[in-house]
A and B are shown apart, each in its own frame.
Chain A
Amino acid sequence: MNMNMQQREEKQLEATLQAILNKVNDLKGAIQALITKLETEHETINWPTFLDNYAILSGHLTGLSKILQAELASSLRSRIVLPLQLSCERDEALVRLTEGRVPACTHDLVPDLLRTKPEPQAEQRLQQFNHKASTLSYDTAQKQVAQFAKVVSHVWEIISKGREDWEGESMRSAAMQPTHIIGDTHALVTAVGTGKGLRPGMPALGPGPGVGATLGPRGPAPPLGPSAPALPKAPSAIKTNIKAANQIHPYQR
């Protein structure tokens, strides 16, 4: 039972270490790629590519810190690394392991490599800031926050306004003007279908009834209505419908 648990823990630890190692290797690869780029293409590289590389780095760092924060790494927290022996002599195995970066486990390197807290200088500055923050009066802090928020919102306004202008312009040129209005469709269809909008203002003795009274007996002589604009001779809807009726064969079942 106990053995089993121990084995499981060991396995877990190994998996975690492997994951961390992979991430660190990814990060290392990305840094190397960036350095190579800077060394070989420093004359042609443009900002977007450069920033893309930074984005890759930051992505790897985020992945790494996620693993370290996860529950899986909790067993790592309780582990202690104790330097047992320091030596100034060159350790070939160490050199191979670190790809030539660390030739020996010396006194000036170990404190940096095994550090778990910030550097003393950084820690001191951090303390200074913490002290300053704690002694600040509430009102002053509020005032400063408000001021800062104001500046930020101002900058935000400028940016969004600029974006609006830019997008509006590109939209105007790219987007098509509307070609139809649904309201017009409805108005036209209802007018033709039910006479809505055509009925009022039509007195009983307008040209309509007049047409019926005057044109009836005379046969198909003069055109209806008040005006007959001259247009090229063309078939009316009547003719079309008759044609359509003659062409039914392709769909006959």
Chain B
Amino acid sequence: MSAANAAPITATDSLSQALKANIIPNQEYLLQGSVLDSAVEVLLHRLRGLCDNVDAGPETFNDQEVCFSLRDPNQQAAPLMLRVRKALDVRDMPYQLRYIGQPDLGDKNRPTVVRSSLDIACNGMLLEFLNELGCRIEFEYSVKGYMFRKGRMKITVAKVFKISQSSMTPEPISQSYLVELSVLAPQGQDAIAEDMRAFADQLRPLVHLDKIDYKRLGHMSVT
């Protein structure tokens, strides 16, 4: 038993300790690609051959994601983006609050995109809380698809839907499935990126998983 007069260990203490030990997986290594609807069956087949969690068929998911922005009242800093995710198919799952940092593509030798990422499981009070904070809804969409695991790697193959108000059926963004290969890891674990690249190569030429800078793409399509 610890001494009675020792200060109780608070959550802040353990958090700062975890930060110091660098065991918090706050970096996301990411590769993205897409596969046409017509070829998705082939890809799923290949993933079933490659991945770990395929004994009972691929795991499915159906999530809705709402992206909030919190603007700086002085209009000086860029708005802070927060994402809230909710499973549509499993009712008792918690909400997921997620912060994603700026993607860092690095140079040609870096195998994957790296961005900071923080995930927190929350209850339904979260939306009200964000509203009270002054967050504004920027956009929302739903994703429905399949999730695979290979060691620490997570592979999702999912259709992205625009949520329409008029009809009950969500409208798909494109004729392709979004394919993402990601790993959450503490800072500085770049070895996993090489593993990811090797895994991505095994999905070629079906899917080309690559580093994609959506910020630059967005600007390009505007001009």
Which A residues form the contact surface with B (CB < 8 A)?
Answer: 176-182, 184-199, 201-203, 206-209, 211-213, 215-245, 247-248, 250-253
Contact = CB atoms under 8 A, between A and B. Distances in A.
A184 B163 contact: no
A224 B60 CA distance: 17
Nearest to A229: B62
Contacts of A232: 60, 89
A185 B32 contact: yes
Interface in B132-183: 137-144, 147, 149, 151-152, 154, 156, 160, 162-165, 168-170, 173-176, 178, 183
B218 A196 contact: yes
Contacts of B168: 226-227
Query: Which 10 residue pairs spanning A and B have beta carbons closest together?
Result: A216-B128, A195-B139, A236-B87, A193-B214, A179-B39, A184-B176, A185-B34, A238-B96, A231-B89, A198-B139
Contacts, number: 255
Given A176-B205, A181-B34, A236 B61 contact: yes
Contact of B152 (A192, A203, A250): A250
A237 B65 CA distance: 11
Kindly name the residue among A185, A226, A231, A241 whose own CB sees the greatest number of chain B CB atoms within 10 A. A185
Nearest to B222: A196
Given A198-B162, A234-B60, A180 B93 contact: no
B186 interface: yes
Contacts of A252: 23, 186, 189
Interface stretch (B8-16, B70-78, B117-125): B117-125
A219 B156 CA distance: 28
Contact of A218 (B35, B124, B138, B141): B124
Given A228-B89, A241-B119, 17 more contacts: A180-B206, A186-B212, A189-B178, A190-B214, A191-B160, A195-B67, A197-B162, A201-B162, A227-B168, A233-B89, A235-B90, A238-B85, A238-B121, A241-B184, A250-B151, A251-B185, A252-B23
Contacts of B36: 178-181, 184
A33 to B, nearest CB: 46
Contacts of A185: 32-34, 176, 178, 208, 210, 212
